Chains A and B, each alone.
Chain A
Amino acid sequence: MADEFPFEISPMFEGERIRKDGMFVELAGPKSKGFELVRAADMDDVEDGRFTLIGPDLSDMEEGSRYPLAMVYKIAGELVEADLESIVERRNHEFQNYIQGFMHLNQRDDVWMRVSKDAVEKGMTSFESVAQAIMMLFKNELPFIEAVEAIYITDMDEIEKEIENARAVYKGRDERTRDLHDEDVDTFYGCTLCASFAPTNVCVVTPDRISLCGAINWFDGRAAAKVDPEGPQFAIPKGDVIDAESGEYTGVNEAAKRLSSGEYDRIKLHSFFEYPHTSCGCFEVVGFYIPEVDGIGWVDRDFAGTAPNGLQFSTMAGQTGGGKQVVGFLGVGVNYFRSPKFIQSDGGWERVVWMPKMLKDKVLNDIPEEMRDLVATEEDAADVDSLRNFLKDKNHPILERWVEEEEEAPEEEEATEAAPQAGFAAPQMQMPTGGFMPSMPMMTGGGSGGVKIVLKNAKVSIEKVIIKKQD
Chain B
Amino acid sequence: MSDIETGKFSIDELENVQITIGKIVGAIEKKAKEEGVEVGPTPKPGISGLRDWDHKLLSRYQPVYTPVCDQCCYCTFGKCDLGGNKEGACGINMEAHQARETLLRVITGAAAHSAHGRHILHHLIDIYGRDKAIDVGPSNLVAPNTQAVTGIKPETLGDLEEVMDYVEEQINQLLATVHAGQEGAAIDFESKVLHGGMLDHVGMEVSDLAQMSCLGMPKSDTEAPLVEIGMGCIDSKKPVLLVIGHNVSGVTYIMDYIHDHNLDDKIELGGLCCTAIDMTRYKVENGGQPRAKVIGTLAKELKMIRSGVPDVIVVDEQCVRADVLEEAKKLSIPVITTNEKIMYGLPNRSKDSAKDIIEDLSTFKDPGALILDYDTLGEVAPELAIKMSKIREDMGIKALPSDEELQGLSEKCVQCAACEMDCPANLPIMAAMKAGVDKDFSKFEELHDVCIGCGRCDQACPKDIPVLDMIEQASRKIIREEKGLMRAGRGQISDPEIREEGVNLVLGTTPGIIAMVGCSNYPNGTRDLYTVADEMLKRNYIVVMSGCSAMDLGMYKNEDGQTLYEKYPAKFLAGNLINVGSCVSNSHITGTAIKVAAIFAQRNVSGNYEEIADYITNRIGAVGVAWGAYSQKAIAIGSGCNRLGIPVVVGPHGSKYRRALIGKPYDEAAWKVYDARDGSEMPIPSSPEFLLTTAESVEELFPMLAKNCIRPSDNNMGRMIKLTHYMELSQKYLGHMPEDWYKFVRTETDLPLAKREQLLKILEADHGWEIDWKRKKIISGPTMKSDVSAQPTNVKRLCKGEC
Chain B associates with chain A? yes
A interface vs B, CB < 8 Å? 1-2, 9-12, 14-15, 98, 133, 136-137, 140-141, 143, 192-199, 213-215, 228, 231-232, 259, 261, 280-284, 301-302, 304, 312-315, 317-318, 321-324, 427, 432-437, 440, 443-446, 453, 455, 459-460, 465, 467
B interface vs A, CB < 8 Å? 1-2, 4, 8, 11, 14-19, 21, 27, 30-31, 34-36, 131, 133, 138-141, 155-156, 158-159, 494-496, 498-500, 502-503, 505-508, 538-540, 575, 596, 598-603, 619, 676-677, 713-718, 721, 724-725, 728, 731, 749, 753-758, 775-776, 788-789, 791, 800
- The verdict on A435 contacting B496 (CB below 8 Å), with A314-B139, A322-B599 known, is no
In contact, A196 and B539 (Cβ under 8 angstroms): no
Most chain A CB within 10 A, of B507, B728, B791, is at B507
- Residue in B725, B753, B789, B791 whose CB lies within 8 Å of A140: B753
The distance in angstroms between the C-alpha atoms of A324 and B755, with both chains bound, is: 39
- The verdict on A198 contacting B731 (CB below 8 Å), with A282-B502, A314-B496, A435-B131 known, is no
Residues of A within 8 A of B775 (CB): 143
User: What 7 A-B pairs come out closest when comparing CB atoms?
Assistant: A322-B602, A282-B502, A318-B140, A281-B600, A196-B713, A445-B16, A9-B754
Instruction: Tell me how far the C-beta of A331 lies from the nearest C-beta in chain B, rounded to whole angstroms.
Output: 9
- The verdict on A197 contacting B600 (CB below 8 Å), with A140-B756, A314-B494 known, is yes
- Residue in A12, A143, A321, A453 whose CB lies within 8 Å of B599: A321
Closest to A99 in B: B754
In contact, A435 and B758 (Cβ under 8 angstroms): no
The distance in angstroms between the C-alpha atoms of A467 and B506, with both chains bound, is: 60
Residues of B within 8 A of A98 (CB): 753-754
- Residue in B4, B138, B749, B791 whose CB lies within 8 Å of A467: B4
Residues of A within 8 A of B36 (CB): 427
Closest to B713 in A: A196
Residues of B within 8 A of A315 (CB): 140
In contact, B599 and A196 (Cβ under 8 angstroms): no
In contact, A432 and B14 (Cβ under 8 angstroms): no
Most chain A CB within 10 A, of B21, B496, B619, is at B496
- The verdict on A197 contacting B601 (CB below 8 Å), with A98-B754, A143-B775, A435-B131 known, is yes
14 contacts between A and B (CB under 8 A): A10-B754, A136-B754, A193-B715, A196-B713, A197-B596, A198-B602, A199-B676, A232-B716, A232-B788, A281-B600, A282-B500, A283-B499, A314-B140, A321-B599
Instruction: Tell me how far the C-beta of A406 lies from the nearest C-beta in chain B, rounded to whole angstroms.
Output: 31
The distance in angstroms between the C-alpha atoms of A261 and B757, with both chains bound, is: 36
Instruction: Tell me how far the C-beta of A277 lies from the nearest C-beta in chain B, rounded to whole angstroms.
Output: 15
The distance in angstroms between the C-alpha atoms of A259 and B791, with both chains bound, is: 12
Further 7 A-B residue pairs, CB within 8 A, beyond A282-B502, A318-B141: A12-B725, A193-B788, A198-B506, A199-B676, A199-B791, A213-B506, A444-B18
In contact, B754 and A231 (Cβ under 8 angstroms): no
In contact, A199 and B16 (Cβ under 8 angstroms): no
In contact, B1 and A467 (Cβ under 8 angstroms): yes
The distance in angstroms between the C-alpha atoms of A314 and B539, with both chains bound, is: 30
Residues of A within 8 A of B619 (CB): 196-197
In contact, A228 and B715 (Cβ under 8 angstroms): no
Instruction: Tell me how far the C-beta of B564 lies from the nearest C-beta in chain A, rounded to whole angstroms.
Output: 13
Instruction: Tell me how far the C-beta of A201 lies from the nearest C-beta in chain B, rounded to whole angstroms.
Output: 8
Closest to A137 in B: B753
Residues of B within 8 A of A436 (CB): 27, 30-31
Closest to B158 in A: A435
Residues of A within 8 A of B800 (CB): 261
In contact, A443 and B603 (Cβ under 8 angstroms): no
Residues of B within 8 A of A192 (CB): 788-789
In contact, B503 and A318 (Cβ under 8 angstroms): no
- Residue in A137, A312, A318 whose CB lies within 8 Å of B598: A318
The distance in angstroms between the C-alpha atoms of A196 and B133, with both chains bound, is: 36
The distance in angstroms between the C-alpha atoms of A197 and B131, with both chains bound, is: 37
Instruction: Tell me how far the C-beta of B618 lies from the nearest C-beta in chain A, rounded to whole angstroms.
Output: 9
In contact, B715 and A433 (Cβ under 8 angstroms): no
In contact, A280 and B600 (Cβ under 8 angstroms): yes
In contact, A195 and B749 (Cβ under 8 angstroms): no
Main secondary structure of the interface of A (DSSP, over half): loop
The distance in angstroms between the C-alpha atoms of A394 and B529, with both chains bound, is: 59
The distance in angstroms between the C-alpha atoms of A10 and B535, with both chains bound, is: 13
Instruction: Tell me how far the C-beta of B474 lies from the nearest C-beta in chain A, rounded to whole angstroms.
Output: 36
- The verdict on A195 contacting B27 (CB below 8 Å), with A314-B140, A321-B599, A455-B14 known, is no
Closest to B28 in A: A436
Residues of B within 8 A of A10 (CB): 724, 728, 754
Residues of B within 8 A of A455 (CB): 14
Residues of A within 8 A of B158 (CB): 435, 437
Residues of B within 8 A of A460 (CB): 11
Instruction: Tell me how far the C-beta of B435 lies from the nearest C-beta in chain A, rounded to whole angstroms.
Output: 38
In contact, A321 and B714 (Cβ under 8 angstroms): no
The distance in angstroms between the C-alpha atoms of A446 and B596, with both chains bound, is: 52
The distance in angstroms between the C-alpha atoms of A302 and B496, with both chains bound, is: 8
In contact, B499 and A2 (Cβ under 8 angstroms): no
Closest to A458 in B: B11
- Residue in B133, B496, B503, B716 whose CB lies within 8 Å of A213: B503
- The verdict on A137 contacting B754 (CB below 8 Å), with A321-B602, A322-B599 known, is yes
In contact, B715 and A196 (Cβ under 8 angstroms): yes
Residues of B within 8 A of A323 (CB): 600-602
In contact, A467 and B2 (Cβ under 8 angstroms): yes
In contact, A443 and B18 (Cβ under 8 angstroms): yes
In contact, A313 and B600 (Cβ under 8 angstroms): no
Residues of A within 8 A of B494 (CB): 314
Instruction: Tell me how far the C-beta of A306 lies from the nearest C-beta in chain B, rounded to whole angstroms.
Output: 10
In contact, A15 and B600 (Cβ under 8 angstroms): no
Closest to B133 in A: A434
In contact, B159 and A435 (Cβ under 8 angstroms): yes
Closest to B728 in A: A10
The distance in angstroms between the C-alpha atoms of A213 and B800, with both chains bound, is: 28
Instruction: Tell me how far the C-beta of B762 lies from the nearest C-beta in chain A, rounded to whole angstroms.
Output: 10
In contact, B599 and A281 (Cβ under 8 angstroms): yes
The distance in angstroms between the C-alpha atoms of A198 and B724, with both chains bound, is: 25
The distance in angstroms between the C-alpha atoms of A321 and B506, with both chains bound, is: 14
In contact, B506 and A194 (Cβ under 8 angstroms): yes
In contact, A282 and B499 (Cβ under 8 angstroms): yes
- Residue in A312, A322, A445, A467 whose CB lies within 8 Å of B600: A322
Instruction: Tell me how far the C-beta of A469 lies from the nearest C-beta in chain B, rounded to whole angstroms.
Output: 8
The distance in angstroms between the C-alpha atoms of A192 and B786, with both chains bound, is: 12
Instruction: Tell me how far the C-beta of B486 lies from the nearest C-beta in chain A, rounded to whole angstroms.
Output: 22
- The verdict on A214 contacting B155 (CB below 8 Å), with A301-B496, A318-B495 known, is no
In contact, A195 and B599 (Cβ under 8 angstroms): no
Instruction: Tell me how far the C-beta of A235 lies from the nearest C-beta in chain B, rounded to whole angstroms.
Output: 16
In contact, A314 and B138 (Cβ under 8 angstroms): yes
Instruction: Tell me how far the C-beta of A189 lies from the nearest C-beta in chain B, rounded to whole angstroms.
Output: 15
Closest to A262 in B: B800
In contact, A321 and B755 (Cβ under 8 angstroms): no
In contact, A12 and B728 (Cβ under 8 angstroms): yes
In contact, B156 and A282 (Cβ under 8 angstroms): no
- Residue in B8, B601, B714, B757 whose CB lies within 8 Å of A198: B601
Closest to A316 in B: B140
Residues of A within 8 A of B753 (CB): 98, 137, 140-141
Closest to A318 in B: B140
Most chain A CB within 10 A, of B141, B713, B717, B753, is at B753
In contact, B155 and A435 (Cβ under 8 angstroms): yes
Instruction: Tell me how far the C-beta of B318 lies from the nearest C-beta in chain A, rounded to whole angstroms.
Output: 31
In contact, A15 and B789 (Cβ under 8 angstroms): no
The distance in angstroms between the C-alpha atoms of A284 and B158, with both chains bound, is: 35
- Residue in A2, A197, A284 whose CB lies within 8 Å of B758: A2
- Residue in B131, B503, B538 whose CB lies within 8 Å of A15: B538
- Residue in B30, B749, B755, B789 whose CB lies within 8 Å of A199: B789
The distance in angstroms between the C-alpha atoms of A27 and B775, with both chains bound, is: 36
In contact, B506 and A196 (Cβ under 8 angstroms): yes
Residues of B within 8 A of A453 (CB): 19
In contact, A1 and B34 (Cβ under 8 angstroms): no
The distance in angstroms between the C-alpha atoms of A465 and B721, with both chains bound, is: 65
Residues of B within 8 A of A2 (CB): 754-755, 758
In contact, B139 and A197 (Cβ under 8 angstroms): no
